[in-house]
Amino acid sequence: MKKFTCFLMLVCFILFSSGCIEKNVQTNKSNDQGYIVYDTVKCPNDLIMTNNYDLNEQYLLVNLFQGLVRMDSDGKIVPAIAQSWNASENQTCYTFKIRNDARWSNGSNITASDFVEFFKKFFKEGKGSLYVERLHCIFGVQDYENGIKDFSNVAIKALDKKTLEIRLNYSCNYFLNILSEPIYNLRKIDNKLKDWKNKYNDILYTGYFVVDNFSKNSSISLSKNKYYWNKNNVKSNRILITLSTVKEASLANFESNLINVFTDPPESETKELITSGSAVKYEGNVGNALIFNPKNNDIINDINLRKAITECIDRNYIVKDILNDSVRPSLAYIPENISDGLNGKYINKSFFDINSNKDAAQNDFKESLYAQNVRNLKFIYLDADDNRKVCDSIAKSLKDTLGLTVECEGYQKEEFQDQIKKGNYDIAKINYAPGYNYPLAFLELWTSDSKSNVYGYRNLEYDSEVSQGKTELDRDKQINFFRNSENILIGDMIVIPLYFDNTIVCKKNKVNGIYINQNGNLIFDKTYFKK
């Protein structure tokens, strides 16, 4: 990594001079005492997070709290605070048995009523959010959210101190997949969670760790939760999380042994870090795609134009030359590592070529109405270096192959959302993220009534297939509905997948037991520092 040596020295000099990593210098000495130092970029504003869709910020929810069930490192649903559960034959009623040794971090027992109270406040706090929308499958939730009926009508009931019953509106064989997501982990939703940076000592935790110190915008110290039901299998007594805002600074600290774990290094360094054994690649589920403006008649009425643009995309070049193999190409809308609900993987088919097809693109463009009345296209993206490089590459390909002039414009998050809302674009580069590990989580993002479908895509046949798949009890038939839905979505050529994100974890050789969830969050219960 010779090309980076001078830069490392410069970054370290700047950081030491400014005192920004004074605590981290002390941390380097602490490494010999045996705890992990994990560096990350973002620190969540609150620990309720019902209106925060940045999955990367859920790393605290994963490690500080736990839900009824969880997903293990193999992607299987396993017991958590619920030691067992039963589903009715038609899978519309789930009964959970709470562990006798399940306790809050103050030693008090966790009861079924605690979950009832959690969901009641969660639905109120998250009114209008995607997280509540995903639990509309529970009887009464939608009416409660809309203020039509009170919470007594919601079918989440404590049958006794240790038995929780949840009844659903329809058969939902993926219900446990939803509940396994960190956002549904048990916590007392109150002002302490909102002001957790100042009130962390007063919060009641249910997971592997508790927060024992927070240094403003610098570090978060976690210690083992002594009342966690499975504390004997939590390997580390302490985890220190440091906060850096620049990837290059994280890499500099890693090379200087000030930290020993961090994720997503600079793309230019990824290949060498993986080759040297300093980094491991984990497949993620967040998709990156182009969307053609469904509200633009010139675009929506000209499928030949959309086909021609799609055929100009060289996914192989984007993945290998622009993003240095830090991502993987998406040849379908739903990634290949998604559960089919039967301990297998959902498989449909490949829709796209990994390389561009310039001859086909030129032929389709000649057949397009747009070719007779060419104008400049506005291509927008969320302002970030990797997005800019990808969009500039696509724009150049469209110019070279089709003679199209594409104006690329990057926007900050709120401005980008405003441009989408107003329809001030022809093409946009977007991300799409599932709420849980199941094909439906991807497909329901594009139904006409979905809160996430802010773009205006609408296809009644698609809505019908997704709706039927959602309620179908037979797994094979359900998967067929999902395949049909994906076929329709791709056939309309409004959403064009480019690549799926991976999580690149950089770690020192002495760090053992690292694993991540489907959202890319590191889970620390089995992690330890080998002396």
> According to the model, what pLDDT value does residue 268 have?
86
> According to the model, what pLDDT value does residue 252 have?
92
CA distances from 352 to 122, 238, 495 (A): 40, 46, 12
Q: Are the C-beta atoms of 308 and 402 separated by less than 8 Å?
A: yes
Whether 258 has a pLDDT exceeding 80, the answer reads yes
Among 156-165, 266-275, 357-366, the minimum mean pLDDT is found in 266-275
Greater model confidence, 102 or 52: 102
> According to the model, what pLDDT value does residue 54 have?
81
Per-residue pLDDT tens for 391-401?
999 999 999 99
DSSP single-letter state for residue 168: B
Q: What is the mean pLDDT of residues 451-472?
A: 95
> Which of 173, 154, 174 has the alpha carbon at shortest distance from 165?
154
| pLDDT-derived band at 342, boundaries 50, 70, 90 | low
Name the CATH code of domain 66-186 (choices 3.30.2020.30, 3.90.76.10, 3.40.190.10, 1.10.10.350): 3.90.76.10
> According to the model, what pLDDT value does residue 12 have?
40
How does 263-275 read in b/e, with b if 16+ C-beta sit within 10 Å? bbbbbebbeebbe
- Residue 213: CB atoms within 10 A of its CB come to 12
CB-count burial class (<10 Å; 0-12, 13-18, 19+) for 460: exposed
Residue type present at position 519: N
The dihedral through the CA atoms of 102, 106, 109, 110 has a sign that is negative
Whether 497 has a pLDDT exceeding 50, the answer reads yes
- Residue 397: CB atoms within 10 A of its CB come to 22
> According to the model, what pLDDT value does residue 426 have?
95
| pLDDT-derived band at 343, boundaries 50, 70, 90 | low
Greater model confidence, 166 or 516: 166
DSSP single-letter state for residue 201: G
| pLDDT-derived band at 31, boundaries 50, 70, 90 | very low
DSSP single-letter state for residue 345: B
- Residue 9: CB atoms within 10 A of its CB come to 12
> According to the model, what pLDDT value does residue 529 have?
84
> According to the model, what pLDDT value does residue 24 have?
39
Query: Which CATH superfamily, name and number, covers 1-60+195-260+508-531?
Result: Periplasmic binding protein-like II (3.40.190.10)
Q: Where are the alpha helices (DSSP H) in 20-111?
A: 22-30, 59-64
Architecture of domain 284-502: Roll (3.10)
> According to the model, what pLDDT value does residue 6 have?
41
Written in H, E and C, the secondary structure of 427-469 is: EEEEEECCCCCCHHHHHHHHCCCCCCCCCCCCCHHHHHHHHHH
Per-residue pLDDT tens for 417-431?
999 999 999 999 999
Per-residue pLDDT tens for 54-86?
888 899 999 999 999 998 877 789 999 999 999
Average pLDDT across the chain, whole number: 90
CA distance 242 to 457: 41
> Which of 517, 299, 511 has the alpha carbon at shortest distance from 423?
299
H helices then E strands: how many in the chain? 20, 21
Whether 216 has a pLDDT exceeding 90, the answer reads no
| pLDDT-derived band at 41, boundaries 50, 70, 90 | confident
Whether 104 has a pLDDT exceeding 50, the answer reads yes
Greater model confidence, 420 or 375: 420
- Indicate the domain borders of the chain: 1-60+195-260+508-531, 66-186, 284-502
Per-residue pLDDT tens for 116-170?
999 999 999 999 998 999 999 999 999 999 999 999 999 999 999 999 999 999 9
